[in-house]
Amino acid sequence: MKKLSILMTELKIFFSIVFPTMRSAYAAGAIWAFMNSWNSYLWPLVILQSEKNKTMPLLISTLASGYIPDFGVIMTAVVIATLPMIIVFFTLQNYFIQSILGSMKQ
């Protein structure tokens, strides 16, 4: 029971002191990790076996690889693929800017 009490105290310290201080760094890391995984092209190209599991970059490259690519469809797919990244960035924008400004203090 004493170990549980110590663990709860340490978690309380973490979530009341450390976590609010590091919130901007966590947001910047979340934006970077999401964009890195969302835009991944080579790893899904190597690993995926079926056509129904393709990611957005793979679908867009399939659209662009025809003899006569339809650029209207390609641009529509690019806009649709960009929307989740824009939503995540604008949701976490304030924290991202805080993390950049925090690293540039003089």
Q: What is the dihedral of CA 13, 16, 17, 21, to 10 degrees?
A: 140
What are the pLDDT digits (tens) for 61-102?
Answer: 888 887 888 899 999 999 999 999 899 888 888 877 776 776
pLDDT tens readout for residues 1-51: 666 676 678 888 888 888 877 877 888 888 888 888 888 888 888 888 888
pTM over 0.95: no
Residue 87 burial (C-beta neighbours within 10 Å; 0-12, 13-18, 19+): exposed
